[in-house]
Amino acid sequence: MSASDNHKNVYVLNQTNQLKGLFTIIRDRTKPRVSIYLDAELSSDTYSGNDYAVNDTIIRLIVEEGLNHLPVSPAQVTTAQNVKFDGVVFDGRICGVSIMRAGESMEQGLRDCCRSVRIGKILIQRDEESQEPVLHYKKLPEDIADRYVLLLDPMLATGGSAMCAMDVLIGMGCKQEQIIFLNVIASPEGLYNVHQRFPKIRIVTAVVDEGLDSKGYITPGLGDFGDIYFGTK
């Protein structure tokens, strides 16, 4: 994990062969739905990353890294060896907020780490012509201003949808420092736009791609994440 060269508060997962292998599967246009969502193509000997849905594996890595950004306090316990161990406990309360639809694909990964976590929802759809985000619906924990917020959306393209969601959270009283945006694929443009507007919001992403095409899609990207995940195309 490293802070991006360009922006403080942007953290990109280490580009290990494990991560590159998983992305090679989910980016493959010949089998995106199978690989992103279902256990499939189990080969006998070769590790293919498919024994656990690939998308879930990547998201789990991102969630784990996001949790590393929460504050902790020192805590000492005594082990069964009757020896003191100096550890830590997490401070403060958290919640998740998913940007529907595609952000919902990250909820299970968060629940796997924090079983009873509260999860709010914000429905934002990008207008495919104008590429502008449209806010349709929100339902968030009432005390969200007192919590750290793990904001979930796998795709950061122009950044419009993420910034729209961040505006909602700030409008509910959240401070930028409380918000950690968890993301699978980011474009440099999206990172720049979000960071310019909300420099104190931390962004954790698995990979930064080359850029955007004329329709505002991430390249090389993987296409429309929501459509692939939910099987609507």
Q: Does 221 bind ligand URA (CB under 6 A)?
A: yes
* Complex with ligand URA: residue 107 or 224, whichever CB lies closer: 224
Q: Does 206 bind ligand URA (CB under 6 A)?
A: no
Instruction: For ligand URA, give the closer residue by CB, 51 or 132.
Output: 132
**Size, binding site for ligand URA by CB under 6 A:** 9
155, 162, 182, 184: which one binds ligand URA (CB under 6 A): 155
3-state DSSP assignment of residue 74: strand
Residue pair 6/192 in contact by the 8 Å Cβ criterion: yes
> Min. distance of Cβ 226 from ligand PRP in angstroms?
2
Residue 27: phi, psi to the nearest 5? -85, -10
Q: How far apart are CA 144 and CA 115, in angstroms?
A: 18
For residues 143 and 209, give the distance between their C-alpha atoms in angstroms, rounded to a whole number: 35
Binding status of residue 183 toward ligand PRP by CB under 6 A: no
Q: Is there binding between residue 224 and ligand PRP (CB under 6 A)? A: yes
Measured distance CA(69)–CA(63) in Å, rounded:
10
What are 158's two structure tokens?
């122009």
203 vs 127: CA distance, rounded Å: 24
Please report how close the Cβ of residue 219 comes to ligand URA at its closest, in angstroms.
8
- Give whichever of 90 and 192 is closer to ligand PRP, judged by the CB atom: 192
User: Does 101 help bind ligand PRP (rule: CB under 6 A)?
Assistant: yes
Q: Does 226 bind ligand URA (CB under 6 A)?
A: yes
167 binds ligand URA (CB under 6 A): no
Site map for ligand URA, 71-110, x if CB under 6 A?
-------------------------------x--------
Compute, in degrees rounded to 10, the torsion defined by CA atoms 155, 192, 194, 1. Answer: 60
Verify binding: residue 188, ligand PRP, rule CB under 6 A.
Answer: no
CA angle (211, 214, 218) in 5-degree steps: 35
Spatial distance between the Cα atoms of 225 and 156, rounded to a whole number of angstroms? 11
Q: Is 148 exposed, middle or buried (0-12, 13-18, 19+ CB in 10 A)?
A: buried
Q: Of these, 125, 167, 197, 223, which contacts ligand PRP (CB under 6 A)?
A: 125
Binds 99, which of ligand PRP, ligand URA, none (CB < 5 to 8 A, cut-off by type)?
ligand PRP
- Give the footprint of ligand PRP on this chain (CB under 6 A): 99, 101-102, 125-126, 131, 133, 153, 155-162, 190, 216, 224-226
